[in-house]
């Protein structure tokens, strides 16, 4: 049986009754057709806006820490989006001596700190403005103008501006309703403001950053576009989480049905967006495993990598252009530890993705027996450090069952394969991940080389409940030769 592995389909085998039986899978990359394309900014990260007020002291995040800077540089180039629910309650006060509540303001010093950091680590800054500053039913840009003026005087560069966060749930959060049509008009006026403000005519407008695009919210998104948002947005965003962090179970993180839930969400978002904006890039503007801060003891552990890596594969395969991970720091789904700043498992997974996965995306075909496997394929990102040249192919696999899996690649016989396989050091809830059985950690605030092991075996066997990347440096795929 041949099955095409795309974002829409997972491969399921008929499991034998022998408990110890392994799984044998033959895999082929359909290299004659590129189905999508991503760039080096495909993965970005976020910080939540609740960290901005001075009393928060960035939640303990030290932008000057050599460790934090080293980890940030390891993800570069990278978008940093600061936004979130708290953003729609914040006021910019350049001096910090204004009349607004200090717990709901951010100052020029705060703005300076984050802009200096993104410059130093080669990130690109996206910021979410407060859409709930309103006057006579419309967005009031007065405070936003003050921020833009300050930003210009300092010479800072913005990669994009958002207006509001998750407006579709304002009634429940704030007992305020801004309907889709009104929000679209607010965005339209915002775009006009930027076009007439020196230095901001080309600044991308990003939104509407909806909490969801399914159910009744589909109409909200449609109304946003017809209300004027279609002429305003340069990037279309919505958010996605799989489940509630307070109720999530360990088994959720390897549940292939839950992984597939993302597909219908993206399909809906793309369908509505493309009616009016067929060429506007669509992003997951904020996303992680579980909402409400993540699942403690799970969302920042090895097992979270199943949902994260699969999300990246699905999003790339379906044509999304960016996925912004909540959060770089803070919450139970952070990429770095909030106490020690040590990198957590999804940090290493993200670094490997950025190093190995290139732009062109392919479908994958598999003839399978005995289990479930999820697979994705891209051109390899050309690399001087690894010696990867154009023409190479990178595949990444998730094995969410307990079965040992042997994968065969008849398409690339007798070719070298570089293996980057990630496993937990002490179980699925491990905070330490091993690359090819070598635990990963910083050494003197420097990232290790992240070396593969090379094999020329045509069949490679991996343990169940694990994931990783394979690079075929001599694949000589025509579609990858022009990268």
Residue labelled with tokens 């996303």: 287
Q: Which of 166, 267, 365, 474 is catalytic?
A: 166
Q: How many helices (H) and strands (E) does the chain have?
A: 9, 28
The 3-state DSSP class for residue 440 equals coil
Cα–Cα distance between 340 and 425 in angstroms, integer? 19
- Annotated active-site residue in 136, 153, 286, 365: 286
State the Cα–Cα distance between residues 463 and 63, nearest whole angstrom: 38
**Helical (H) or strand (E) element with 311:** helix 304-317
Q: Give CA–CA dist 67/95, Å, rounded.
A: 30
- Residue 420 near residue 479, CB atoms below 8 Å: no
- The answer to whether 474 is a known catalytic residue is no
Inter-residue contact 201 to 195 (CB < 8 Å): yes
Is 166 catalytic? The answer is yes
* Cα radius of gyration rounded to whole Å, the chain: 23
CA nearest 186: which of 139, 142, 235, 230? 139
| Spatial distance between the Cα atoms of 163 and 317, rounded to a whole number of angstroms | 28
- Angle (CA) 262-274-173 rounded to 5° is 55
Place of tokens 């309703």: 177
**Geometric angle at alpha carbon 138, from 132 and 140, rounded to 5°:** 60
- The count of other CB atoms within 10 Å of the CB of residue 372 is 20
Angle at 433 between CA 431 and CA 434, to 5 degrees: 155
Reduced to 3 states (helix: H, G, I; strand: E, B; else coil), residue 299 is coil
Q: Which residues are catalytic?
A: 166, 286
């Amino acid at each position: 049986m041949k099955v095409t592995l795309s974002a829409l389909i997972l491969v399921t085998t008929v499991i034998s009754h022998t408990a110890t039986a392994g799984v044998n899978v033959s895999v082929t990359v359909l290299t004659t057709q590129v189905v999508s394309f991503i760039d080096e900014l495909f993965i970005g990260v976020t910080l939540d806006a609740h960290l901005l007020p001075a009393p928060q002291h960035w939640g303990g995040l030290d932008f000057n820490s050599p460790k934090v800077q080293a980890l940030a540089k390891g993800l570069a180039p990278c978008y940093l989006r600061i936004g979130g629910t708290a953003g729609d309650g914040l006021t910019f006060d350049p001096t910090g001596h204004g009349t607004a509540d200090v717990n709901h303001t951010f100052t020029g010093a705060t703005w300076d700190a984050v802009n200096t950091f993104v410059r130093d680590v080669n990130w690109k800054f996206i910021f979410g403005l407060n859409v709930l500053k309103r006057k006579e039913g419309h967005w009031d840009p007065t405070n936003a103008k003050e921020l833009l003026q300050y930003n210009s005087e300092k010479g800072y560069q913005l990669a994009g501006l958002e207006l509001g966060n998750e407006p579709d749930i304002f009634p429940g959060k704030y007992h305020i309703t801004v309907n889709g049509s009104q929000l679209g008009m607010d965005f339209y006026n915002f775009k006009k403001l930027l076009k007439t403000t020196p230095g901001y005519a080309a600044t991308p407008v990003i939104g509407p950053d909806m909490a969801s695009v399914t159910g009744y919210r589909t109409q909200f998104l449609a109304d946003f576009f017809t209300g004027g948002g279609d002429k305003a947005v340069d990037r279309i965003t919505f958010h996605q989480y799989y489940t509630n962090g307070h109720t999530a179970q360990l088994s959720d993180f390897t549940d292939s049905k839950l992984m597939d839930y993302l597909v219908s969400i993206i399909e809906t978002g793309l369908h509505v967006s493309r009616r009016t904006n067929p060429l506007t890039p669509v992003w997951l503007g904020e996303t992680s495993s579980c909402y409400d801060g993540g699942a403690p003891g799970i969302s920042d552990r090895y097992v979270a990598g199943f949902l994260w890596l699969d999300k990246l594969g699905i999003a790339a395969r379906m044509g999304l252009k960016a996925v912004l991970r909540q959060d770089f720091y803070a919450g139970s789904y952070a990429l770095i530890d909030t106490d020690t700043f040590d990198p957590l498992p999804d940090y290493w997974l993200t670094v490997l993705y950025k190093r190995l996965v290139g732009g062109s995306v392919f479908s994958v075909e598999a003839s399978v027996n005995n289990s479930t496997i999820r697979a994705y394929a891209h051109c390899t990102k050309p690399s001087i450090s690894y010696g990867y040249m154009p023409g190479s192919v990178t595949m990444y696999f998730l094995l969410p069952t307990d079965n040992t899996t042997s994968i065969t690649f008849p398409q690339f016989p007798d070719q070298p394969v570089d293996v980057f396989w990630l496993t937990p050091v002490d179980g699925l809830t491990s905070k330490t991940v091993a690359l090819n059985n070598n635990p990963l950690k910083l050494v003197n605030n420097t990232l290790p080389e992240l070396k593969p092991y090379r094999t020329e075996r045509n069949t490679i066997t991996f343990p169940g409940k694990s994931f990783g990347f394979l690079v075929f440096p001599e694949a000589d795929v025509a579609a990858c030769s022009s990268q």
